Chains A and B, each alone.
Chain A
Amino acid sequence: MGRQLSFSIFRYNPNIPGDAPRMQEYKLEEYEGMTLFVALNDIREKLDPTLMFDFVCRAAICGSCAMMINGRPGLACKTMTGTLPSRINLMPLPVFKLIGDLSVDTGTWFRNLQVRTESWIHTNKKFDPEALEVRMENKTAEAIYEPERCIECGCCVASCITANIRDDFLGATGINRVGRFLIDPRDERTDAEYFEVVGSEEGAFGCVGLMACDDNCPIELPLQQQLAFVRRKMAQAGLKLDLKGMKIS
């Protein structure tokens, strides 16, 4: 016999008139290798078919299933119930708009982030289908891949004190994303142009340094390093700008 697990799950569907936020209790018997993916589907299929949550890849690579698991943000799909006490408290991620129960709208938030930070390669070169690719050192490609690995789950945003109190903060994920383009030789933006994007308190200078983002990143991105890197670059860029944003050096 496995343990009896007691789940306490946040319930509220803003699309159902009269519905009110509450915690609901469910009990399941644990078995070997049980993850929160399995447990939540069991609850939906056997106990309560209205329960809303999001899973896609169930392999910890798509970032869909982040939630607050006993008070910490994490990916539900890779969380083994065996690593948790028998009372499991599940809440939706803060900061993001609630869709219902454990489901939040990370898609809209991240799309806005991409657009605000113009997270695409800026280049004046035209693609020439006849030409060979531009050469790059393999270690540069590997260095770009490191921050590119971000799965946009939102755990860093949910962990972040600044993101929790100001809507316009880019979060560690946004700063990491900008850092990815900063080191990409294909991107022709100048430091001054990057400064426009992240050289403010909504960007690299909004971070208050608690580093919960780094602690809670489920794919262990070096967010602390990325923040330091982008800040240093932006501080340097800032020193080269006068107050009107004109280049003086």
Chain B
Amino acid sequence: MRKRTLGFVALGAAASIFLSACGGGDSTGGDGGGEGAGFNAAENSVVNASDQTGGTLRYAIQDDFDSVDPGDTYYGFSWNFSRYYARTLLAYNPEPGENATDLVPDTAAGMPEPNEDFTEWTVEIKEGLKYEDGSEITAQDIKYGIIRGDFNGGSLVHGPSYFAQKLDADPDFNVYESSDPLGEFDAIETPDDHTLVFHLKESFSEFPNILIMPQTAPVPVDADTGALYQQHVMSSGPYKFDGDYEPGVKLHLVRNEEWDAESDPIRTALPDRVEVEIGVNQDEIDERLVNGELDVDLGGTGVGPAMHSRLAGDESERPNIDNLYSGALRYVNIHTPVIEDVACRQAIMYAANRDSMHRAWGGELGGDIATNLIPPQIPGSDPESDLYPSEDNKGDLDSAREKLEECGEEDGFETVIAAREGREKDVDTAEALQNALAEVGIEASIELYPASDFYGQYAGSQDFVRENNIGLSVSGWIPDWPTGYGFAQAITDGRAIVETGNYNMAELDDPEINELWDRSMQTEDPDERADIYAKIDTLVMEQAAILPVIFDRAMFYRSPELTNVYFQPGYAMYDYMALGVDRG
């Protein structure tokens, strides 16, 4: 449930120059344990680089996987982890720093080739790849993996549905009702055993970004047992299940001898065994981590509050800590149908005291004050830009009053701030904003709603927002993939507005922004796309539809016994495929 706090899975983006200021720590070293490598050392360097094989890599997690079936999972940690036994078409570049979120081939032989208008993509796959039983992996198996993940009549309910949205196929197609699912589904063609051709409904220049999703792992038609497949997934990676996956209890992996290291540039496959213990208390996980009784907290969202405050006050542990971007922007929606006049919305942008909201999020360690939309790790972000500057970020009340006059509300107005019940920091943010707005006469009352239905029935429901005069709502967002489109399209594109379960909560529907989104999907060059995203960022700020609060950070404890540790901003956690152990 916790993972639902944000719209989508944890995916961030390449570390930028902006970040390195906080880097600090000394870089790499093959010293294998003992002294920590330095504060934030795993951000831009490989900590404890080593090629020592053997040992058992121990993971633990408090809450369970949504599913360990690669075709049925939507948690960031699960996307990262499932690569042990499920190879995907593409993968993030296995290195830290600036180029970490570049895409590289995994089972693909090369990068996908688009046609002229990005509606057709062709991918070749490597020859000679094998499953754990020695049988060969074919293009048909990858096609089947994709269609069973997205066209299953509701049998597999957890995964994302990008292929269903983008492929030019009948949305009601159901692999389990078709007698010949491969033959009847023609939006993906397999002209031979090693070629896949994808036919899309519309231009989608960032299609390769969805080919890193675990749904692109191969699944043989005969092995598919629907929702039961997760008990024992047919491995294509360096490890296979040792016994069944036991929900809520454990998942153990052993080496898959059929895996060929030569074919795989992204996995080190150092440990002999990988063990996940499920259902361990977060506090207990953190204790074990710091005491060397555990190697990695699988969840990848950082240590819990108790350990956070302990580590924050302990200088001696600093070298073992990475305090890095979680990939999320925390922000306040300014609902455009409720606060209709743009000048009134801008008054809120001016009046907001970003400094006090920053403190609500834990200050320095909690994250960085955000003054723009797109997080700093994503190309096209300009964290320096600030359309509503103020001294020490404490708010510019004079400009706010001017704007209020401009929209004819000199004396301010009344509105409601919606926030999620039980989300302490969201509520603190709302209170900080409430106080700041009161200074210019805007009377905001705070209403708390159940977190599980926040989007479905409350702040994400058009009717509810209008009926209850909800002008502001506190939320957060993590992209599924680290580009401007992956991050901001769903929350700023006018065509993404829906009646309930609305993620574009501000209901921003600006023709210029919509047009820019379309253009980005027809632009091949990533740098050009980044320019478009920068433009969209500025337009959203001008429209004052989103009040950015913070790019938040999570605190990771880096066990000194781990080797090859670096942060993969694409998942906003360590790259699990690189890790090994050295018990000294």
Physical interaction between A and B: no
Interface residues of B (CB under 8 A from A): none
Binding site for B on A (CB under 8 A): none
